[in-house]
Structure 1
Amino acid sequence: MTMPNSRYLPYRIIETVKEKSLLEHRMLIGVQINHRDTQGRNALYWAIKHHNIHNVKLLTEHGISLKVAPDQHAIFHAIEEDHYETIVLLIQSGLSPNITDMKGRTALMHAIEKEQFKTVCFLVRHGADLFMMDENYDMAEDYVNRCACKMIKDYMKHVYLLNQEAEGESISSPCDICKDPACQI
């Protein structure tokens, strides 16, 4: 007996997302949505790649694996694809902003490296640890020093100054962003 060509089969979910079509809630009920293509990528990988927040939301609501490809987590893929909405969705859904990749790099380090100002600001505001180290013992500050984006450099300088102030250390000069040593982010 051959199986009917149903659009609700797991491989069709990936094909639907790859074709940039919108998924429907009913398509995902009772379907193994963690099916992967020949390269090991799931439907969430393609939804992020095509910047389709509708499909990202549906797939995450239905519990798709956040490991979107071999050795790649959804948040790092979203940073790679500059898909800010997915990053916000994942963090607001409870994902730690301090998640690390296989080399110990945090989402913040990736965002700084990719020079994504909005993402850097969002991650810092949602608790990204500035002092975590990757496997080379680099912290976010080291990534900032290698970054060419002046906005990120200025913002992170501002954040570090506010952290020093919060720890009770005196600040000898105001930050470059607002020129007010008493400001709040």
Structure 2
Amino acid sequence: MTEIKFRLEPAHLSAYGRLSSARLEATGAHADGNWGVWLVGTFGAATLIAAASLVFPAVTGNPFAMAEFTAGLVAGVAIFFAIAWWRYLRLSRRATRADGPTRAEHRLSLGEDGLRSSTCFAETLYRWSVFEDVTATEDVVVLWIEPGAGVLVPRNAFACPAAEAAFLEAVRRYMA
């Protein structure tokens, strides 16, 4: 029976979030990107500029200042994205506690019946039939059980590259 112990850190959770999002986007109907949203957004911005170029001179009696209007629009969008990103970063840092169940010490063990994951808070048995795929990146290994969810294992949980390779080989063998 193979067993490893580890603690998840915020960087591991961030990498998992990126992998999960990328995996969901790749399996969805819009795997080629959100071109429709960008098209509607571009049309909306063009409509706004066209309306402003007609309405502002009629209301103010002055010619429309395209450069100033565009600079203000771009600055407004940039400020919106900066505030949204700042809020995301602030909240994502508080999503888990250092002493909570997500970042507690995990113990994973591989057995004939499945992968057992346990912490001081919970114990879960994942049957081998539930696993869909395995992804290994620079920081983490994810054993996927859903299109956007999986069992997260940091790469630093393995004593050496050979131990990681043996773990992944055993997982793939059990999955088959």
* Structure-2-length-normalised TM-score: 0.24
Based on CA coordinates, which of the two structures has the bigger radius of gyration? 2
Higher relative CO (Cα under 8 Å, sequence separation at least 6) belongs to: 2
| Higher helix fraction (1 or 2) | 2
* Structure-1-length-normalised TM-score: 0.24
